[in-house]
């Protein structure tokens, strides 16, 4: 028997992103995540889908964004696909978490442009493969069940 897998495809519209985030949340909850972990997954999927729509498709709504969620024994994997303009590898591969370090009272970095940093900070891994069909893979480890192997 294979790993449970869930797939949802939306039109590349920002007002449709909530459907992907909701599916990711439900799959994560069924896999054993709870509380803040569910909120973090939902935020990351929202950021990833928004980035695909804004940057890969330049905001055009005549395309699709697909999310495939795979539940493995020790992790949950979120693959987000688009067929738009590929992101630059240097941006996707660089550690951008420092963009989240903002001193109280300072202006800090602009809010825009921190999506990758948020995903890197909240997920256990982020991988990007550019191509005719771009894939952003976000992975989150699942809590241990308490049983020792």
Cβ–Cβ under 8 Å, residues 51 and 91: no
The two tokens of residue 126 are 């982020």
What pLDDT is attached to residue 115? 82
Q: What is the pTM of this model?
A: 0.86
Query: Which has the higher per-residue pLDDT, 6 or 105?
Result: 6
What pLDDT is attached to residue 91? 80
What pLDDT is attached to residue 146? 47
Instruction: Go through the domains of the chain in sequence order and give each one's CATH number.
Output: 5-141 (3.30.565.10)
- From the list 61, 46, 115, 64, the residue with the least C-alpha distance to 87 is 115
Question: Is it the case that residue 69 has pLDDT exceeding 70?
Answer: yes
What pLDDT is attached to residue 89? 81
Percent of the chain exceeding pLDDT 70 equals: 83
pLDDT, tens only, 23-63? 999 999 999 999 999 999 999 999 999 999 999 999 999 99
What pLDDT is attached to residue 98? 57
pLDDT, tens only, 72-84? 999 999 999 999 9
């Amino acid at each position: 028997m294979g790993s449970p897998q869930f797939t949802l495809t939306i039109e590349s519209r920002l007002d449709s992103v909530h459907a992907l985030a909701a599916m990711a949340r439900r799959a994560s909850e069924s896999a054993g995540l709870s509380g803040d972990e569910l909120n973090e997954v939902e935020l990351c999927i929202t950021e990833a889908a928004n980035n695909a729509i804004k940057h890969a498709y330049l905001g055009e709504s005549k395309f699709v964004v697909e999310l495939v969620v795979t539940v493995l024994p020790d992790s949950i994997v979120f693959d987000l696909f688009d067929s738009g303009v590929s992101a630059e590898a240097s941006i996707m591969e660089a550690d951008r978490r420092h963009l989240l370090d903002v001193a109280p009272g300072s202006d800090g970095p602009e809010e825009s442009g921190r999506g990758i940093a948020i995903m890197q900070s909240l997920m256990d891994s982020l991988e990007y493969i550019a191509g005719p069909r771009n894939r952003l893979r976000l992975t989150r480890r699942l809590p241990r069940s308490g049983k020792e192997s």
